[in-house]
Amino acid sequence: MPRHLFVTGTDTGIGKTHGAQTLVHAFRQAGERVAGMKPVASGSARLREGLRNQDALDLQAASDPQPPYDLVNPIALAEAVSPHLAAAREGVTVAWEPMDAAFAALGRDYDRVVVEGVGGWMVPLSDTISAEALPIRWKLPVVMVVGVRLGCISHARLTARAIQADGCHLAGWIANLVEPDMLLRDENVDTLRRLLPAPCLGVLPWRVAPADAALLLDLAPLA
């Protein structure tokens, strides 16, 4: 199995970056050179150095050694909307060349690259490229981050079904406790453990730093 991974989520705003960062730290703690990557990111601030997306900056900071920003996030878009809409409004072409080149460069220099997608599994990046095309093209196993909140069981099962229908390997999933006061939270996680066709790699507590949460992950299914 390839050592690099693709991280997707059951929706936007469910802590996908937190899950990806936690994976980066977990592999680092296992002694690997690891880089985080977010090929396309919308919602970026205009700084002196150029457009910078906070999720991509967080992945860059988690990486060791830290790669150049342009490799972590080769396509940055300003507006915090769906990437295909942001790209069209900003006159940016979302193309494979810069993404392929960045992924190849990271793959040469690191033991493992943790690639984070955008939003959910099928977010359009352009008129011709959709988020699920990234793991398909790069032949990456998928880790799904489940935001544990009302509706998560259906969202997780649908996402898992889509991942498998697209011919990708769902290597595992991470429960992210985004609503600590959720009614029957633990029972929802237990239900997901029974119904999802992949192992649970861990449960991330509310507001625990990725470097600390990494200790809670089981990396064995990703070896």
Average pLDDT over residues 109-133: 96
| 38 is known as an active-site residue | yes
Predicted model pTM = 0.96
Q: Give the span between the Cα atoms of 149 and 139, in whole angstroms.
A: 30
Confidence of residue 223 (pLDDT cuts 50, 70, 90): confident
Confidence of residue 1 (pLDDT cuts 50, 70, 90): very low
Q: Over the chain, what is the mean pLDDT?
A: 97
Q: Which of 222, 62, 195, 25 is nearest to 141 (CA)?
A: 222
- Give me the helices (H) in 110-151, please: 133-138
Domain locations along the chain: 5-30+96-222
Average pLDDT over residues 12-27: 96
Overall residue count recorded for the chain in this entry: 223
Q: Residues 25, 38, 112, 185: which is the catalytic one?
A: 38
CA 86 to centroid of chain Cα atoms: 20
- Tell me which of 3.40.50.300, 3.40.1790.10, 3.40.640.10, 3.30.750.24 is the CATH number of domain 5-30+96-222: 3.40.50.300
For the stretch 39-90, pLDDT in tens is: 999 999 999 999 999 999 999 999 999 999 999 999 999 999 999 999 999 9
- Give me the helices (H) in the chain, please: 16-29, 54-62, 69-72, 83-90, 96-109, 133-138, 152-165, 185-195, 210-213
| Residue matched to tokens 């810069």 | 98
For the stretch 148-203, pLDDT in tens is: 999 999 999 999 999 999 999 999 999 999 998 999 999 999 999 999 999 999 99
